[in-house]
Amino acid sequence: MGENKIVKRRGITLKTLQDAQRILRRVIDRAFAEGQELEYSGRIAQLMSVWVKTFELDKISDLEARLTELELKLQKK
């Protein structure tokens, strides 16, 4: 019941924020490698905003963990 049942499609598995960032980089890199960054500029802008959001979520979870650790230390004193 508590299992993580993420369906794998097309060889892509999204379990972490890093997985999402890796896929976003892959798509953006391909657009630049093919010289189509202008044709796909709207899509690239949207992907970059998603990448920034994943970065923010990653940093927020790190801050929450650090805050929890500090709160536990203060409670022990």
Q: What is the mean pLDDT of the chain?
A: 83
More confident site: 63 or 54: 63
**Model pTM score:** 0.56
* Per-residue tokens: 24: 């976003």
% the chain with pLDDT above 70? 87
* Per-residue tokens: 30: 């391909």
Residue 36 phi/psi, 5° resolution? -110, 25
pLDDT tens, residue by residue, 61-77 = 899 999 999 999 999 87
User: What are the residue ranges of helices labelled H in the chain?
Assistant: 17-33, 41-76
Q: What is the mean pLDDT of residues 27-56?
A: 87
